[in-house]
Amino acid sequence: MTVYKAPVEDVTFLLDDVFQIDRYNNLPGFSDASADVRAAILDEAAKFAEKVLHPLNHSGDQEGCTRHDDGRVTTPAGFKDAFRQMADGGWLGLSGPAEFGGQGLPVTLSQTVNEFMISANMAFSMYGGLTMGAMAALLVHGSDQQKATFVPNMMTGKWAGTMNLTEPQCGTDLGLMRTKAVKQADGTYKISGTKIFISGGEQDLTENIVHLVLARIEGAPAGIKGVSLFVVPKRKVNADGSSGEANGVSCGSIEHKMGIHGNSTCVLNFDNAVGTLVGEENKGMQAMFVMMNEARLGVGVQGLAQSEVAYQNAVAYAKERLQGRALTGAQAKDKPADPIIVHPDIRRTLMSIRAFNEAARALVVWTALKSDVAHRSDDAKERQAADDHMGLLTPVVKGMLTDVGFANTVAAQQVYGGHGYIQETGVEQFVRDARIAMIYEGANGIQALDLVGRKLPKDGGRAMTAFFSEVTAFAKENGASEEMKAFVAPLSASLQHLQQATMWLMQNALAKPDNAGAASTDYLHLFGLVALAYMWARMAKTAQDKLAQGGDQPYLKTKLVTGKFFVERMLPETALRLARIQAGAATMMELPAEAF
Amino acid sequence: MTVYKAPVEDVTFLLDDVFQIDRYNNLPGFSDASADVRAAILDEAAKFAEKVLHPLNHSGDQEGCTRHDDGRVTTPAGFKDAFRQMADGGWLGLSGPAEFGGQGLPVTLSQTVNEFMISANMAFSMYGGLTMGAMAALLVHGSDQQKATFVPNMMTGKWAGTMNLTEPQCGTDLGLMRTKAVKQADGTYKISGTKIFISGGEQDLTENIVHLVLARIEGAPAGIKGVSLFVVPKRKVNADGSSGEANGVSCGSIEHKMGIHGNSTCVLNFDNAVGTLVGEENKGMQAMFVMMNEARLGVGVQGLAQSEVAYQNAVAYAKERLQGRALTGAQAKDKPADPIIVHPDIRRTLMSIRAFNEAARALVVWTALKSDVAHRSDDAKERQAADDHMGLLTPVVKGMLTDVGFANTVAAQQVYGGHGYIQETGVEQFVRDARIAMIYEGANGIQALDLVGRKLPKDGGRAMTAFFSEVTAFAKENGASEEMKAFVAPLSASLQHLQQATMWLMQNALAKPDNAGAASTDYLHLFGLVALAYMWARMAKTAQDKLAQGGDQPYLKTKLVTGKFFVERMLPETALRLARIQAGAATMMELPAEAF
């Protein structure tokens, strides 16, 4: 009932033309991802997403997960078989290291594939997404033995992975954590406590589950500095590497959620479960932070992916639904009414979503590319610059893409009128599923605070200075061209707003930190708008160059019109964001809590 | 698990102080609603909403409605008893005419009571809301016999009412209607066809249901000009006025919806059901339009009401949830962490919702007051001015209050972090319930088009001119006061934006109607912002006057801070809306439909 077609042409335009990733063939893995190989992979991924995952999306939502009395959890019909196909297709190891069974291809490529999977079936994609996240953490911080024990089995999807952070009394503030780890004579730890909101915490897809668990070692310092990371398999691992007897981990219940019903969100009870330390004692947060950038980028992709699939369905409905006549006179005279895509307000809705999606996709590719450079370059300076960029842009990608992505699913639903409110049409599921992405992996308010309080001032503002320089240089280089002016002039104006906001923070937030907190969400969106405008300017440049060389006329011209819509209609929001930031914190902090 | 406390103090401030409704004691019904009577009624309504309806909200959502094989529909446990209490309490007839058993009190009062009921339980409140809507239509357009037969039984809640407009192929475009009416020798009609999305179409609350049905009389002109309105009871009415045998109406199925699960949304099949004509043949739309203003105002109230209850719950959570420390240093040093209400981003969220709610409530009262004047004044000029106002503001109230009200439920949910995504905490229900209000009773895009295409140009722009004059006069009168400047200056600036936008429409939309369509939604929000700013200016004036007279200090000071937040942080959006409007339709209409 819903439709989905993976945007392969758009991804190819970004990888091949806008970012020309062949220029990075000096980095490990990139030359293996030649244009042909990329095309073949995207084609396969598209097929898998469209034909295997998408048909299970609505049924998975309707059926949901079931916890049985013995603590087992059954995922929706079809998920087990699809997970097997995903694992066998090598999708979990696309950008994993070859020595552990991965294919070593760029994250730039695997993030585009992720978008397809998430658009097709967000709840399903999370089982694999968390497994990839857990692998990433083990690869950076695990011991050789931990890597050898767990990673190859996760890369093939024989085992899955989870992340266990949240407890009833602690979400954002992990310093309040209570789960305990007691060191044993053999160097292992016994973990006890309750973790909540554990995605994929129990399921019937894999023979074992590798839980990464934050806990406090007996006697550790209070607060966040006493938290350590452990790996705790659901079933203990035998000496020969196979899954053995049950460890002390059980699923106490599964949550009834607004959406992502196909993913089992568990309360996990750890009762003297045996685990081993990952990295150093009391350095658990550092180990988690490593993986957070990529996990947050992945959640940003969820916002984009739901916005994309919602857009596609709204377009299909708008072309098919006959209602009223165009304001300029009947268009489909042979029909009882015109398709609603003739109405400007419907156009406005569709163009807004589309203009966001295409730039958001570019932003994901750009940021993922920096991630690859940060991890794979042999030039320390290049690595540092890429890492700066990745750190700075990650909260923006996570916060902006999920806030606007969710709002876009709501806008797409609106196109359907009353039919959008009915479960059978499927569009309301996109709204419910997309909603979680604004919350988990650091609620968006936390992303905004991370940006303003940590990433912006870090190293004397080095990352932000580099961003300003890059955009300014692009504007200087391209501003003279008559064709590019329509993009460069608004980009420069919006950049000025961002610079003014940054200056305001420097002048007002040091003495009064509440001014930073009060500005944070607006600053994140202001930054996001400028970043998207920069993406549009780069895409426009590429499109104009390709048009001049006789490229695919309709595709490239549509791209330019869509970009123009963005700078005309959506980018003016930067002035509003600036005005709000400059209003400061005084009024919002004035009332005592009792007045609320 | 959720909380709700009816905002009686706020309503009293509006009725007694800001709008001083005692000034309208010359209108029928107003002198019966003296300050004491109002206080007693609001108090009773608050108790009923808080103690009877609110406890059934979450359970009603979880249980939903059930259709049995024989077509009967069961509402959630407790609804039947609560409906009886509501009916016996006289709440359905609060502003109904005394000759049919109503109390004849002002709509201004009954709309504030409606807000309480909807905050407490939106799905439940719709059964009564539609009954009141159907009564209103019968009272204006029904024959004496129809009124006598149906209205008294509806006023006491013995029978309920519904509205039957939508069919599978026609929602907004009612000209595509297919339901047929065939005239019988006795002057009645036999109605056949299928209606969808009929709220309360079948239920177990009342012994009969009075369906108002739009249908096309055999041989009527094509399109909207051939649509007539009929009254079709579920059970035929005996000569003695009691409910008799079944009429040919049955519930084919109930919809599975995103929210308002406690309200049965039915597919109704009419199979030679006997009905009588309401008003004139082929004038069905006119009969419906009469009731639309009030129905739309009521849906606007739904947006406000869900925003209010979501706000209250977010506040309770923010005061109780301990997480992190204030940026300015620990506040609750005796606790492991500070309540999250200390964080500026949480404050920003709560203040934004609150600053909207309080002004939206004022806007509802102001508009309802105009409705009372329009219906009850014996001065034709006063009636006309009030009717102008009501017509102009209705789409704004409906569109703005439901768009922003919904967004506010989402923002309130965000305060909860992951706990907001879990059904048990109850806040996600507000999001799902509020969503429908943007869609039904004319989707918000239609409201925007109604405003820009119909209400604005009507009678040479008379209504808008009056609005401009009133706000300008207020600004002139109060702009000199030092204390009022903070409100009047931004109000005047935003009014200028609205005037510029109106001018732009006059210059650009006549020749190119797509420019009106492209501007419509932004224009509605721009207008809404100015109207809310005007409400804030009036409330600020009243608060300052009362403070000067030694009124309740904390309440009035909080009011002024909240208003300041609105003009500082929220009102600057008018510039963005103007910029979007001035961008015109060209870019959004440029692409061929195939390019989407």
CA distance B42 to B45: 5
Q: What is the distance in angstroms between the Cα of A320 and the nearest Cα belonging to chain B?
A: 11
Q: What is the distance in angstroms between the Cα of B98 and the nearest Cα belonging to chain A?
A: 36
Q: Which of A412, A478, A138, A510 is nearest to A287 (CA)?
A: A138
Q: Under an 8 A CB cutoff, do B422 and A256 touch? A: yes
CA distance B159 to B233: 10
Interface A-B: count of C-beta contacts within 8 A = 242
CA distance B217 to B179: 9
Residue among B176, B520, B572 minimizing CB distance to A576: B572
DSSP A432-492: HHHHGGGTSSS-HHHHHHIIIIIITTHHHHHHHHHHHHHHHHHHHHHTTSHHHHHHHHHHH
Residue of chain B whose Cα is closest to the Cα of A446: B345
Query: What value does the CA radius of gyration of chain A take, rounded to a whole number of Å?
Result: 24
CA distance A543 to B251: 55
Q: Which two tokens stand for residue B13?
A: 């401030």
Residue of chain B whose Cα is closest to the Cα of A410: B435
Q: Which of B69, B12, B62 is nearest to B40 (CA)?
A: B12
Q: What is the distance in angstroms between the Cα of A272 and the nearest Cα belonging to chain B?
A: 26
Interface test with B, best of A176, A258, A320, A404 (most B CBs within 10 A): A258
A1-50 pLDDT tens trace:
899 999 999 999 999 999 999 999 999 999 999 999 999 999 999 999 99
Q: Which residues of A touch B176 (CB under 8 A)?
A: 322-323, 336-337
Residue of chain A whose Cα is closest to the Cα of B341: A593
Q: Is the Cα dihedral B110, B113, B114, B115 positive or negative? A: positive
Is-catalytic flag, B115?
no
Q: Which pLDDT score, from 0 to 100, does residue B92 have? A: 97
pTM higher than 0.95 for the full model? yes
Q: Which pLDDT score, from 0 to 100, does residue A77 have? A: 98
Does the structure show a pLDDT above 90 at A138? yes
Q: Under an 8 A CB cutoff, do B257 and A435 touch? A: no
User: Residue A551: which pLDDT band, with cuts at 50, 70 and 90?
Assistant: confident
Q: Which residues of A touch B564 (CB under 8 A)?
A: 587
Residue of chain B whose Cα is closest to the Cα of A175: B324
Residue among A175, A315, A417 minimizing CB distance to B596: A315
Per-residue pLDDT of chain B (596 residues; tens, 9 = 90+): 899 999 999 999 999 999 999 999 999 999 999 999 999 999 999 999 999 999 999 999 999 999 999 999 999 999 999 999 999 999 999 999 999 999 999 999 999 999 999 999 999 999 999 999 999 999 999 999 999 999 999 999 999 999 999 999 999 999 999 999 999 999 999 999 999 999 999 999 999 999 999 999 999 999 999 999 999 999 999 999 999 999 999 999 999 999 999 999 999 999 999 999 999 999 998 888 777 778 899 999 999 999 999 999 999 999 999 999 999 999 999 999 999 999 999 999 999 999 999 999 999 999 999 999 999 999 999 999 999 999 999 999 999 999 999 999 999 999 999 999 999 999 999 999 999 999 999 999 999 999 999 999 999 999 999 999 999 999 999 999 999 999 999 999 999 999 999 999 999 998 999 999 999 999 999 999 999 999 999 999 999 999 999 988 999 999 999 999 999 999 999 999 999 999 999 999 999 999 99
Residue among B421, B438, B445 minimizing CB distance to A345: B445
User: Residue A268: which pLDDT band, with cuts at 50, 70 and 90?
Assistant: very high
CB atoms within 10 A of CB B370: 26
Residues of A classed as catalytic: 441
Q: Which pLDDT score, from 0 to 100, does residue A1 have? A: 86
Q: Which residues of B touch A431 (CB under 8 A)?
A: 258, 435
Say which amino acid occupies A28: P
CB atoms within 10 A of CB A63: 17
Interface test with A, best of B164, B196, B263, B343 (most A CBs within 10 A): B343
Q: Under an 8 A CB cutoff, do B518 and A350 touch? A: no
Determine which one of B441, B470, B568, B573 is catalytic: B441
A41-77 pLDDT tens trace:
999 999 999 999 999 999 999 999 999 999 999 999 9
Residue of chain B whose Cα is closest to the Cα of A572: B576
Residue among B196, B351, B587 minimizing CB distance to A564: B587
User: Residue A289: which pLDDT band, with cuts at 50, 70 and 90?
Assistant: confident
CATH architecture of A287-455: Up-down Bundle (1.20)
Contact of A168 with B328, CB cutoff 8 Å: no
Q: Which pLDDT score, from 0 to 100, does residue A287 have? A: 83
Q: Which pLDDT score, from 0 to 100, does residue B551 have? A: 83
- The residue to which tokens 């009612």 are assigned: B174
Give the start-to-end residue ranges of the domains of chain A: 287-455, 458-588
Residue among A422, A568, A576 minimizing CB distance to B257: A422
Does the structure show a pLDDT above 90 at A207? yes
